[in-house]
Amino acid sequence: MVADGGREERFVIQWPQDRVALEAESGMVQAGAAVALAANGVVSASVEVFRLRDIAGNVVGLASRSTSSRMLAGEGNVQGSDWILLVPSRGALFLTQRNGPDVAPRPHPARAGLVPAADDSAGFWSRGSRQRITAAATGGHGGRILRGTDEFEGLQGSFEETWDLEEIDADGITRGRITLATRLAAALCCVS
């Protein structure tokens, strides 16, 4: 339960079946089903699009995830992700987060995109079958709800992104689930 009449809602993505194929254009690199932006051989961002499901497994919309490097004062270059969740009958949610240090960008021989990506190599899973992508924050979730539209308008809150590995096949291809757990409440407004 979320204080002040808020609510927690979970959205789910199954990979690889929920991934929507994208086509790379000039200045972009095709990285599996993801598209990466590259300049002088250095990848600066990647984008993926997925079908979005409710907790019961019903497809309810689309989600896009962009991952990029960001400069933070006093911390240097860190990796972050932004999500747009589009639920046609309800509206859209715009989310942002700093990714945890265990999923920082690293070279990947199979594709040019930043990692993590939902079809990452089996080696990514050597630390366990559940990975929290969102950097931990004191007192709760680490990601922030930036804004919403329609049903989600005027709400604020936080979210957490986790990945659960379900299978690694004989060819090293992974299958699993991304869960976005959102905590939403009405934005408090002060009159001065």
Instruction: Sketch the domain layout of the chain as residue ranges.
Output: 7-190
Q: Which residue has the tokens 């001065």?
A: 192
Q: Is the pLDDT of residue 67 over 70?
A: yes
pLDDT over 90 percentage in the chain = 34
Strands (E), the chain: 7-15, 19-20, 28-31, 34-39, 42-54, 59-72, 76-87, 91-98, 130-132, 143-148, 155-168, 174-186
More confident residue, 148 or 2: 148
pLDDT of amino acid 110: 40
Indicate the pTM of the whole model: 0.80
pLDDT tens for 22-66 read 665 554 444 445 555 555 555 567 788 899 999 999 999 999 998
